[in-house]
Amino acid sequence: MPRLGLSLTSKQMGGAGVEVYTDTMREYGYPNTFTERQWFCSGSAGNVTYGGSAGGLEIGTGSVGRHALVHFDCLKDTNAAFDMGFAYGAGGQVVYAGIYGHGLYQKTDVGAGGGSGGYPPIFSNDTSLRDINGWNRYRPVDTSIRKITISNSSVADANGVYYRASGGTDPFTKVSSGTIATIFWDGSAWYLFVDGLGNVARNTNVNIDSASWLPWTGNATGITAVNKNDMYRYIPNGKSLSVSFNLECKNASVLQTDLNGLRVGLLASDGFYINTDNHLISNSSFQNYTGYMASYGTRHRLYKRKTNDSNLIWTTTAYDQKTSSTIAITTPNPVFSINLKVTNNNNIPTFQSSINGFEGNGSIGTGIKTASFTEPASCPMSFDTLVVASTSGVMDSFKVTNVTARIV
């Protein structure tokens, strides 16, 4: 099956109104195959109803609770679409595969199909890097380090995820929860600064060799560092990433009393992609996902995700709550129109969640239908994953339709 989201990059892409992703979730002749379906369920494929003439993805939840996710951003706007009739040969061409995998693929071998017929990428599992038709999963790589993860430091407050939006010698800011910390260049070396302690480690390698961190004034020993160059689409300054979809909740009367049983998240996958159903609600791939969650019930709450937690969206201990306001969902089986938006204001993100009834089918009586918060400091401006979840006993199933993502 295709690996998703492999084409994302940290470079600023596109202007206002650029379509990042759209999916009506209608089948193209072969029900529930990964050729068409780019959404995956935390439960088995038997809990998924996909496609049909009306489109949509329905997830049975019942007493268990499940989520569905999609890695939605694959730079479809900046890459040539796969052409079934084109003879790709083995020329190294890179294409956006559309329904054949929703990602970027590079043709490096003629493969079993010979290449002359323009055979599409066909991946039968989530670990293969090359398919039978000679396509390799492809991901552009940025030459500048964008993210550093520090762990095992004897100074606990130095551990965490550090991010910067640009390259060169621009500083990194700690974006995971905890004490404020930065990594900065003073002209001769990189220093790891922790608020209240000063510079705790030093790295004289201008390229920030991950193995070259040495104790400094604050004496941080034992540091393990991981540098990442490959990041995702970077929201341009002054623009927003807007992700919208419709959500139908079946047999969901409990939403009128439950605090946060219906949850949606806008996240960055950190390069660890889910390509199978039954990946469970907790998975090591989720360990360093970053981003935001909104929950709906009798409260409209917004959260920022912590790192170092393998639970994706199922426990609020994996998140820091940022806002909480009342909301009143007044119909027992609502259909919602939901929008999640992140706006870049000089690398300071504002996260906004909006929920409204769709065509009168999901009445929201009183309370805050739109909630937002702004980060106090620079944070990642990259997102590639949408998650929709219903916790245990909240509803029988939920159905997602008409998903779009745009830079506006």
In this prediction, residue 169 has a pLDDT band, given cuts at 50, 70 and 90, of: very high
Domain boundaries, the chain: 18-73+234-407, 147-228
Secondary-structure class of domain 18-73+234-407 per CATH: mainly beta
Contact 176, 304 (CB under 8 A): no
Tokens of 298: 């009798």
SS3 208: coil
Residues 128-153 pLDDT 10s: 677 778 888 777 767 789 889 999 99
CB of 216 closer than 8 Å to CB of 199: yes
Give dist(CA 384, CA 232) in Å, integer: 7
Mean pLDDT (whole number) for 230-239: 79
Choose among 83, 100, 97: nearest CA to 28: 100
pLDDT, residue 277, reads 86
Residue 397: count of CB within 10 angstroms of its CB? 18
Can you tell me which residue has the tokens 């552009």? Answer: 140
Closest by CA to 142, choosing from 163, 127, 157, is 163
- Phi and psi at residue 66, to the nearest 5°: -150, 165
Which is higher by pLDDT, 145 or 38? 145
Contact 355, 250 (CB under 8 A): no
More confident site: 255 or 377: 255
In this predicted structure, what is the pLDDT of residue 405? Answer: 93
Q: Decide if 91 contacts 115 (C-beta within 8 A).
A: no
pLDDT tens-place string over residues 357-381: 887 666 677 667 999 999 987 777 8
Q: For 295-317, what is each residue's pLDDT tens digit?
A: 998 899 999 998 788 999 988 88
Task: Tell which residue, 120, 386, 131, 38, has the closest CA to residue 241.
Answer: 386
Task: Between 115 and 211, name the one with better pLDDT.
Answer: 211
Q: Are 273 and 71 in contact (CB under 8 A)?
A: yes
Q: Confidence band (pLDDT; 50, 70, 90) for 28?
A: low
